[in-house]
Copies of this chain bind each other. A is one copy, B any other.
Amino acid sequence: MAGVLQDLTPREEGIAAVSRALAFPWAFGERTLPFEEAAGRRIMRPIIAPEDFPPYDRSTRDGYAVRSVDSHGATPANPVFLREAGEVVMGRLPTFALGSTECALIHTGGILPSGADAVVMTEDAEATKGWLEIRRAVQRMENVLSAGEEFRAGDVLLPAGRRLDFRTLGLLAMAGIGSVPLPDITVGIVSTGDEIVPAGTARLRPGQFRDVNSVLLASSLREEGYTSRFFGIAGDDRESLRSVLFRAMDECDVVLVSGESSVSMRDHSSSIMEELPAPGLLVRGILMSPGKPTLIAGMARERKLLFGLPGHPFSCFVSWYAVALPLLNAMIWGSAEGTWTSVHLPAAETIFAQAGVEEFTPGRIEKGRVVPLPVKSGFAGALTHAHGLCRLPASQETVRAGEEVELWLW
């Protein structure tokens, strides 16, 4: 089939090939939510400032608004004396202007009266009988936040794709942004495996295991700002898997199916993906560890994206986080960026790795060094205590204690 990448594809190459084959970004509908209800979500389009902030020059201190030239030369030994012309009332525009050698009492956040261009702090002044003794010179705009200094009308406050968190919601409140546009997309989650039972199952029959991947994926999706829907657990037979996958693809924009570690499941998934309209199955495995059995398929006309993720929870997570999530971002906003922050820190101990495969290990920062957390096949201790994923590029072999290792911080 045209466009199918044979064998294992390096991760970044695979991501780029899929983005290209599917002509990302796709146009999606939007839905608008009041900004406070959109906490944790990603915005569809850039948010533009509707007005300057602050709209006026404001004092950043309690003190006295002055003309800075009047303060020049003032020292504790040689104070300057100014006449108090009034007091700036909070929440109002000053009703007076400052003339030469005049000053006005002002509070933090107060608006400078016309004529004033600086604020002398309370501790550098003393008021006596209608006169103010100033003991320190101020520069123009000292202790002042000038009009438009935070942002100007038309500035991009937040770029498209930015997640709304404590750092950004306060900014929207400041700018008076009432509602925000969110991409109207849903990610479907399917688990597979005859041995897998729902996460909430209290008592297991011998041989059964609870579904971890759907819980892990749904919570990571939520934290990354996406809406997800769980379509249940398909058995290991092709027809059962096919019917769940087609329903999920029908009702969602993106589908994550996990459980591809077993050869039979992987065969079923890839044969189902080969049935799909063009371009269909695009990636049949990625040159990474864990995450090798990752499958990626897409339908360009129908605008659907489908991922087959490994069955082991840690492998499933790495494949989602390092492959599917960047592609999800590319699908909506055009740029295949992960959501991690990359840092290089010294390894606290030796991290064994083989050349030729990009490898990921959970890492924990302790005293500024990265402690690799061993993962066998489960993920319990490992992900739980990790601050991020250590990434060892294909070109890198074992990292010795003290050498720098790349850590992708969540």
Residue ranges of A at the interface with B (Cβ–Cβ < 8 Å): 34, 36, 39, 53-56, 58, 60, 62, 89-93, 107-111, 122, 145, 149-151, 157-158, 165-174, 176, 178, 193-196, 199-202, 204-213, 215-216, 219-220, 222-223, 236, 261-264, 311-313, 317, 341-345, 365, 368, 376-381, 383-384, 386-387, 409
Contacts and interface: CB of A to CB of B under 8 A. Distances in A.
A263 B107 CA distance: 8
A204 to B, nearest CB: 7
Given A122-B263, A341-B365, 12 more contacts: A56-B207, A91-B195, A92-B206, A108-B261, A109-B209, A149-B376, A151-B380, A166-B216, A171-B380, A174-B210, A345-B345, A409-B409
Contacts of A107: 262-264
B169 A215 contact: yes
Q: How many copies does the complex hold?
A: 2
A62 B261 contact: yes
A262 B109 contact: yes
24 contacts: A89-B194, A91-B194, A91-B208, A92-B206, A107-B263, A108-B312, A145-B377, A145-B378, A158-B384, A166-B219, A166-B223, A166-B317, A167-B384, A170-B313, A171-B212, A172-B215, A173-B215, A173-B216, A174-B313, A174-B378, A341-B387, A342-B365, A343-B365, A409-B409
A55 B195 CA distance: 13
Contacts of A219: 39, 165-166, 169-170
Residue of A62, A166, A193 with highest tally of chain B CB at under 10 A: A166
A171 B122 CA distance: 56
A359 B169 CA distance: 24
Contact of A207 (B111, B157, B204): B111
B145 A376 contact: yes
Contacts of A210: 173-174, 176
A215 B207 CA distance: 49
A54 B108 CA distance: 61
A364 to B, nearest CB: 9
Contacts of A208: 91
A192 to B, nearest CB: 10
Given A158-B384, A344-B368, A109 B195 contact: yes
A93 B232 CA distance: 24
Contact of A60 (B90, B171, B342, B376): B376
Contacts of A173: 199, 210-212, 215-216
A122 B145 CA distance: 69
Contacts of A145: 376-378
Contacts of A171: 212, 379-380, 383-384
Contacts of A108: 261-262, 311-312
Given A236-B90, A262-B109, A368-B343, A200 B178 contact: yes
A201 B60 CA distance: 23
A203 to B, nearest CB: 8
Contacts of A200: 34, 178
Nearest to A197: B91
Contacts of A170: 212-213, 215-216, 219, 313, 317, 379, 383
Contacts of A109: 193, 195, 209, 261-262, 311
A5 to B, nearest CB: 21
A202 B387 CA distance: 40
Of all A-B residue pairs in the complex, the 8 with the closest CB atoms, nearest first, are A170-B216, A91-B195, A166-B220, A173-B199, A60-B377, A173-B215, A150-B378, A108-B261
